[in-house]
Structures are given as C-alpha cells and as structure tokens.
Amino acid sequence: MSSIEARLTDLGVTLPTPAAPAANYVPFVRSGSLLFVSGQIPVGPSGIQFVGKLGLDTDVETGRAAAKLCAINLIAQVRAAIGDLDGLVRVVKLTGFVNSAADFGDQPKVVNGASDFLVEVFGDKGRHARSAVGVAGLPFGVAVEIEGIFEVA
C-alpha cells in the first residue's frame, strides 16, 4: 500500500472506482508530466449527492462537503491514471465551479472543502493554485464540480 493510500485509510476514506464519462470526453489526459483530470461531481457510493444551489437551498458547509467529495473523486481518477498515488509530484491547480444563486459570493469558502482535503492528504504536495467560480447551473443539478491539474512522476 502506498503511503498516500495509507494516509487515506487513516482519514477513513476509501477511494471509489472512478465514474465513467457521462458524455464524449475522457476522464483524464496525460501530457508529459502533467495530468489533466476532467471535472468531477459529488458522486458517492449511493450515486449523486449534494444537489442544490449555494445561497438558495444549500449552505456553505454542505457545499464544502460536496467539494471534498469531488476531491476524493479527483484522487480516484489520478490513481486510475498512474496506479500508485506515491507517483503524484504535486497538485498544480484546481478549478472549482459552484452552482450559485445570483447574490452568492462565498465560492472560495465552498471550494476550500476540496483544497483543505488535498492538503490534508498530500501535505505540501497538495498546495495548489486555484480558481473558484460561481455558475448558474451544473450537470444533474449538483452543487459543485471540480477539475484538476496534477504533476506526476
């Protein structure tokens, strides 16, 4: 077991089998040492979770939980791409899309659910550049979608 997998176990996290794409795209693309992972939505063991619009029917803490689940799914895609998570050199960048009411402005607080979790799992290798963007809607009505760029060995 890799040290990252052991860390996930210590945190009580079991990585899922990555979801198959829902349209005409691939879940990840590797170009040299960079791995681009397509947007991940909050899909858990029982299916899609955390449907709603931040600032309307969903609060920041629920949004943070949705973002954390997106990060878990990002890590699962990284593992599918490279096999051993110890081959991750660093998390380079996240882009978080937050399903937001027109007057909602706490997108960064929501996306912190993913950012904080990645730092908890990977330590300094998990620190990354980031964008947190409010959008009018997301696939399946989910609260958050997050894509990532990773440097891998």
- Total of domains in the chain: 1
The answer to whether residue 123 is domain-embedded is yes
- Quote the domain boundaries for residue 122: 31-152
DSSP code per residue over 79-95: HHHHS-GGGEEEEEEEE
Q: Taking the model in full, what pTM does it have?
A: 0.97
Q: pLDDT averaged over the chain?
A: 97
CATH code where residue 55 lies: 3.30.1330.40
The answer to whether residue 24 is domain-embedded is no
The answer to whether residue 62 is domain-embedded is yes
Q: How far apart are the first and last CA of the chain?
A: 18
Strand 47-48 with 28-31, pairing? unpaired
- The better pLDDT of the pair 21, 99 is held by 99
Residue 102 has pLDDT above 90, yes or no: yes
Helix axes 3-10, 107-122, angle to 10 degrees: 120
Residue 71 has pLDDT above 90, yes or no: yes
pLDDT in tens, 17-41: 998 898 999 999 999 999 999 999 9
Mean pLDDT of 62-71: 98
pLDDT for the residue 125 = 98
- C-beta of residue 44 within 8 angstroms of C-beta of residue 17: no
The answer to whether residue 7 is domain-embedded is no
The answer to whether residue 9 is domain-embedded is no
The answer to whether residue 11 is domain-embedded is no
Residue 1 has pLDDT above 80, yes or no: no
The answer to whether residue 69 is domain-embedded is yes
pLDDT for the residue 133 = 98
pLDDT in tens, 76-85: 999 999 999 9
Mean pLDDT of 34-62: 97
For the record, the structure tokens of 74 come out as 């990002």
- C-beta of residue 119 within 8 angstroms of C-beta of residue 127: yes
